[in-house]
Structure 1
């Protein structure tokens, strides 16, 4: 692997080098014009009898080279030790989990949300070298966990998902898909997939439009429908009774399979109706296994050999040389 920089943005400081050069030559030009205005050769010779243009140029060169070496050293050139690179092959999977109140409906036991979390937990266990990320959504969406190889952390974040994490209620599928897209590494060549787990109970008109946009970018969306088309009541955890609307009618939450099917279809993904977590994960992993897997070096596992001192030491020597190099001539006694 070639040498890389840990902080490449600091290399922009090198743009100061040509600026220093322009200032140096502009100063020489001004001095020359000033000398011409004096016009008295004897006076000029007396004024500049101890000045050495060659030594001044050498001092400037020492300073400029030292500055350039310092900039490169700050960017920390490095490369992984041979044989210690850990290369993983897999895909990037963003899981979008619906945590709206409707996911507390009990047409799956103990409720839809718990069954959905069991699916994610089993998916993580079978993900191998895949990177996993998590987006939670209800009326709005946010990235709960960015893409990571740390599957234990992914399971912990999943376990803590609940309707209480988002105050705004609803099912903002379009926003969730956008957050998933933002979480992907746009520079990575690994295949990108989204697993959307929801009851689909939404009037979000942007959902299908966003799915088509992701399809154009080569991102597959696999959807998992949670619940039943017939619907079920939602438990009000405060009163331990069925939730009611403002008019006092019992709320019945129904699975919207049509929307979830459409989202999957436009991205060449699969729609799966969750009835059994193990069976659902089996179907999902079979779908994902068809995807081309690309290698990605896991930088978190690298041990680097750095070249900072190879630049810092010459920089220090050049700075000392610049300080102790006089810009005056030695006059004969």
Structure 2
């Protein structure tokens, strides 16, 4: 495991493409001036030691040394030891609806994107809490097992989309049942399940699944995204809407938020329905909820003893810089003397 102490210094790498443009410009200018001075054959006779390859090699070595020195400024650190530490927190699982109805844009930028924004901001406000993610549509899929790595959770979350689930529909009951297996039975932490959905097509089977979850000590909260007025489901090609989804009669399908069933799920799960359209209000409510929750101590494995590795990059950067200094822009005599192809001199 590694860390980057100052990743903003990576912007200095932009020096290299700027140098490349300048190098190509100078090389073109030299060739142009040489043609004005003499023909190519004559110039080779006048300057037999000139080497374009050596100029390119010299530029490459210089660029590589600059890249190494920039990485040294970033100061990568390597975790040298994996140890178990004691942490306090609660266990949280997000069940994210990725059915086609979540692509509706009745709430900007879309229901699915709004759901991702809400989950991401909740994760940003977490302390030592563990988090897991499940995506579901016609069936459920474990996107990320429960972990303390919040950065990984956000990264996996951004990749969630309807194509991840093999069949369409809304198998909330399967997602809730799968969430039960996410929690560690050996550690009696406070357990929260947040179902983020538009509530469409959630049947009675969802309530029976919620009842099983509550028996396992899981509190179920629902977060609704979308409007009750609803909107069509866009079908896009390269980000551009080409048409809207239609039913068997050829009419455009209008998908609507169903707060009633989401409220029933939350009430059965001893939780609460939260209006996700009021983003900040929803995040503040969940933040306060988790802050007030009783924290349980649990074991978490993490890398420790991070050691700076910049010295290696400085050393090799200076070495290549020194090599570039002594690298001349003319042909290497000892290579010419090898006469690898047994050429005869006139």
Give the shorter-chain TM-score range.
0.5 to 0.7
The residue that corresponds to 2:21 in the other structure is none
Q: Given that residues 135 and 160 in structure 2 are in contact (C-alpha distance below 8 angstroms), is that contact kept between their aligned partners in structure 1?
A: yes
The residue that corresponds to 1:135 in the other structure is 134
Alpha-carbon distance, 1:87 to partner: 1.8
Alpha-carbon distance, 1:203 to partner: 4.3
Query: 1:219 & 1:279 partners in 2: Cα distance?
Result: 23
Alpha-carbon distance, 1:205 to partner: 2.5
Q: Could you say what secondary structure the match of 2:179 adopts?
A: helix
Q: Structure 2 length as normaliser, TM-score?
A: 0.61
Q: Structure 1 length as normaliser, TM-score?
A: 0.63
Question: Is the strand fraction higher in 1 or 2?
Answer: 2
Query: 2:301 & 2:178 partners in 1: Cα distance?
Result: 24
1:224-303 equivalences in 2 (<5 Å): 224-238=223-237, 240-301=242-303
The residue that corresponds to 1:96 in the other structure is 95
Q: Could you say what secondary structure the match of 1:220 adopts?
A: strand
In structure 2, the gaps of 5 or more residues are 1-82, 306-346
Query: 1:289 & 1:260 partners in 2: Cα distance?
Result: 24
Q: Could you say what secondary structure the match of 2:138 adopts?
A: coil
The residue that corresponds to 1:168 in the other structure is 167
Alpha-carbon distance, 1:106 to partner: 0.8
Alpha-carbon distance, 1:102 to partner: 0.1
- Segment of structure 1 superposing worse, 87-96 or 267-276: 267-276
Q: Given that residues 227 and 257 in structure 2 are in contact (C-alpha distance below 8 angstroms), is that contact kept between their aligned partners in structure 1?
A: yes
Alpha-carbon distance, 1:204 to partner: 2.8
Alpha-carbon distance, 1:278 to partner: 2.5
- Number of equivalenced pairs: 220
Alpha-carbon distance, 1:123 to partner: 0.8
Q: Given that residues 180 and 216 in structure 2 are in contact (C-alpha distance below 8 angstroms), is that contact kept between their aligned partners in structure 1?
A: no
1:135-154 equivalences in 2 (<5 Å): 135-154=134-153
1:32-181 equivalences in 2 (<5 Å): 86-181=85-180
Residue by residue over 1:21-48, the C-alpha shift from the partner in whole angstroms, topping out at 9 and shown as x without a partner, is xxxxxxxxxxxxxxxxxxxxxxxxxxxx
Alpha-carbon distance, 1:85 to partner: 5.5
Query: 1:85 & 1:151 partners in 2: Cα distance?
Result: 17
Query: 2:288 & 2:303 partners in 1: Cα distance?
Result: 29
Q: Given that residues 139 and 175 in structure 2 are in contact (C-alpha distance below 8 angstroms), is that contact kept between their aligned partners in structure 1?
A: yes
Query: 1:284 & 1:153 partners in 2: Cα distance?
Result: 21
- Segment of structure 1 superposing worse, 210-219 or 273-282: 273-282
The residue that corresponds to 2:337 in the other structure is none
The residue that corresponds to 1:24 in the other structure is none
Residue by residue over 1:100-140, the C-alpha shift from the partner in whole angstroms, topping out at 9 and shown as x without a partner, is 00001111111000000000110111111000100000000
Alpha-carbon distance, 1:214 to partner: 1.2
Query: 1:203 & 1:283 partners in 2: Cα distance?
Result: 24
Q: Given that residues 202 and 261 in structure 2 are in contact (C-alpha distance below 8 angstroms), is that contact kept between their aligned partners in structure 1?
A: no
Alpha-carbon distance, 1:302 to partner: 7.8
Which is higher, the Rg of structure 1 or of structure 2?
1
Q: Given that residues 193 and 222 in structure 1 are in contact (C-alpha distance below 8 angstroms), is that contact kept between their aligned partners in structure 2?
A: yes
Q: Could you say what secondary structure the match of 1:211 adopts?
A: helix
Query: 1:259 & 1:233 partners in 2: Cα distance?
Result: 21
Q: Given that residues 134 and 154 in structure 1 are in contact (C-alpha distance below 8 angstroms), is that contact kept between their aligned partners in structure 2?
A: yes
In structure 1, the gaps of 5 or more residues are 1-83, 304-333
Query: 1:240 & 1:129 partners in 2: Cα distance?
Result: 44
Q: Given that residues 86 and 302 in structure 1 are in contact (C-alpha distance below 8 angstroms), is that contact kept between their aligned partners in structure 2?
A: no
Query: 1:181 & 1:150 partners in 2: Cα distance?
Result: 20
- Give runs of ≥4 in structure 1 deviating > 4 Å: none
Query: 1:203 & 1:298 partners in 2: Cα distance?
Result: 36
